[in-house]
Amino acid sequence: MDTKLKETLRQLHATLAHHGPVDEELQSLLRQLDGDIKLILDQPPEQEGGTSTYGLAERTQEITAKFAAKHPALEPTLRELTRILGNMGI
């Protein structure tokens, strides 16, 4: 599952680069979300559950809703990210 999550994050970054800048608030939310996901992915398997994932899926859904209105091209990738996190139990 980590492979799919990493690929979706790469796709999101590529889509962001292609579709131009986003406002500062959304940029900040994405940076925070990206950092939280990377922390989870970088954890050794024996430490799983050590980093809090509380609210990560919910934050992803909120960001998706904000992007849907302003940047509809990004919404499908963010929706996929939300689905992957949900399937991982995050």
Report the 3 state secondary structure along 21-83: CCCHHHHHHHHHHHHHHHHHHHCCHHHCCCCCCCCHHHHHHHHHHHHHHHCCCCHHHHHHHHH
Of 64 and 22, the structure prediction assigns the larger pLDDT to 64
| Token code pair at residue 70 | 């302003």
pTM over 0.85: no
Domain ranges within the chain, ordered by starting residue: 2-87
Q: Is the pLDDT of residue 34 over 80?
A: yes
Greatest alpha-carbon pair distance for the chain in Å reads: 40
pLDDT at 53: 61
- CA 42, CA 58: separation in Å to the nearest integer? 21
pLDDT at 56: 78
39-90 pLDDT per residue, tens: 877 776 555 554 456 677 778 888 888 777 777 877 888 888 888 887 877 6
- CA 56, CA 72: separation in Å to the nearest integer? 21
